[in-house]
Structure 1
Amino acid sequence: MSIFGMGTLTGLALIVAIGAQNAFILRQGLRREHVGAVVALCILSDVLLIFAGTAGIGALVATFPAVLEILRWAGAGYLLWWAVRSFRAAWKPTALQEQTPRSRGSVVLTAAALTYLNPHVYLDTVVLLGSLANQHGVQGRWIFASGAAAGSVLWFTALGFGARALSAVLNRPGVWRVIDICIGVMMAALAVSLILGSALLT
């Protein structure tokens, strides 16, 4: 397998698992609300972090665990707030056309918070992918990083616009109740895992 292909598959393996960021992209896709802006932000963020790790920033992040600790608590608080918000929405679900639209700025800020307040994002992209990329030599590391970045482009685009394509089928209050409950449970579980600390953060 080529170095580029290895990078793509490795990047996909790390980002495909549903987390806070992916759940938000899915929800915005189903809402058909500022999907392009959210997808673009997540892609650009991943590309920036992957190439930063490849350039050697990963070693800097690993050297200062206090930064990840701050992000851990800030991220946990934000995720708990989002979980409560989702459960409240599930209590009185509405169809897509009945939901109050949010401004582009508000949606983008939420996507940015769910991205940059999650310490696992830095561990996956900056530390892990950066370390793997640097195993392929001076030139090969950038090929690997480009492959990982391509994986992010493929996944976020498919998730966001795929969900938007399915929104007409899923546009029922009962479906939205299930979606909001699932997202609330996921956000709460992620917050608890951050509070308790994971093996990657210790």
Structure 2
Amino acid sequence: MVSIFSVGLMTGLALIVAIGAQNAFVLRQGIRREHVGAVVALCLTADVVLIFAGTAGIGMLVAAFPSALEALRWAGALYLLWWALRSFRSALQPAALEPEAPRSRGSVLLTAAALTFLNPHVYLDTVVLLGSLANQHGEARWVFASGAVVGSALWFAGLGFGAHALSRILNSPRTWRVLDVLIGLMMLALAVHLVLGTALLS
């Protein structure tokens, strides 16, 4: 059981550690020290629900309705394109290098939820792939799923609160300009990948 748990943990980390739209936002909020706990909790809760749903067999249902993923693909691409333009604008405008006005918790969580659930590959990776791998372990599938959940918890907590702890070092105009450009490029690349229907980072 311990080995199955470890395999689940490592598999979950392998799928989530790649820096994508969701992770970039968690990093950004950590540096801003703004609603970090709430963002980490939302991302982790989303992973728990999706991983357990896939383990329960819902992954087969998601795979059976490609039209739903197609709609998410276009909605996600448009949202990522908007976010990319917003990031480039922040990097280019001197005013954007000053501290931003605090955002409400609801606004921040809405953005985190959009970056999470508008990515169709979160369903393919977390629900279909992890669900399929979990079910290969028969009755021990929930042990595998629990390991994947712990992996998500470690990653999101480390990313969000790690950035929070280092924010005094990272929170400088130059860092924000570089970060905004990198996030803009990442969001633009992810949007292009979605439009072209190719694989992208979750």
Q: TM-score if structure 2 supplies the norm length?
A: 0.95
Q: Which residue of 1 aligns with 2:9?
A: 8
Q: State the alpha-carbon separation in 1 of the partners of residues 125 and 88 from structure 2.
A: 29
Q: State the alpha-carbon separation in 1 of the partners of residues 61 and 75 from structure 2.
A: 20
Q: Which residue of 2 aligns with 1:121?
A: 122
Q: Which residue of 2 aligns with 1:89?
A: 90
**What's the CA shift for 1:94?**
1.8
Cα shift readout 1:79-137 (whole Å, capped 9, x = no counterpart):
00000110111012424xx2111100000000000000000100111000000000001
Unaligned runs of 5+ residues in structure 1 are none
Letter in 2 for 1:66: S
Residue 18 (structure 1) aligned with residue 46 (structure 2) = no
Q: Which residue of 2 aligns with 1:135?
A: 136
Q: State the alpha-carbon separation in 1 of the partners of residues 198 and 149 from structure 2.
A: 26
Aligned in 2, Cα 1:199/1:191: closer, same or farther, shift over 3 Å?
closer
Q: State the alpha-carbon separation in 2 of the partners of residues 122 and 152 from structure 1.
A: 15
Q: Which residue of 2 aligns with 1:101?
A: 102
**SS, match of residue 198 in structure 1:** coil
**What's the CA shift for 1:174?**
1.2
Cα shift readout 1:37-82 (whole Å, capped 9, x = no counterpart):
0000000000000000000000000001001000000000000000
**What's the CA shift for 1:16?**
0.1
**SS, match of residue 159 in structure 2:** helix
Q: Which residue of 1 aligns with 2:63?
A: 62
**What's the CA shift for 1:183?**
0.2
Letter in 2 for 1:158: G
**SS, match of residue 136 in structure 2:** helix
Q: State the alpha-carbon separation in 2 of the partners of residues 172 and 47 from structure 1.
A: 34
Cα shift readout 1:2-39 (whole Å, capped 9, x = no counterpart):
10000000000000000000000000001100000000
Q: State the alpha-carbon separation in 2 of the partners of residues 18 and 157 from structure 1.
A: 15
Residue 162 (structure 1) aligned with residue 162 (structure 2) = yes
Q: Is the 8 A contact 2:31 2:167 kept in 1?
A: yes
Instruction: Work out the percentage of aligned pairs sharing the same amino acid.
Output: 74
Cα shift readout 1:143-170 (whole Å, capped 9, x = no counterpart):
0000000000000000000011111001
Q: Is the 8 A contact 2:193 2:199 kept in 1?
A: no
After the TM superposition, list the runs of 4 or more consecutive aligned residues in structure 1 that deviate by more than 2 angstroms: none
Q: State the alpha-carbon separation in 2 of the partners of residues 36 and 163 from structure 1.
A: 12
Letter in 1 for 2:169: V
Q: Which residue of 2 aligns with 1:78?
A: 79
**What's the CA shift for 1:199?**
5.3
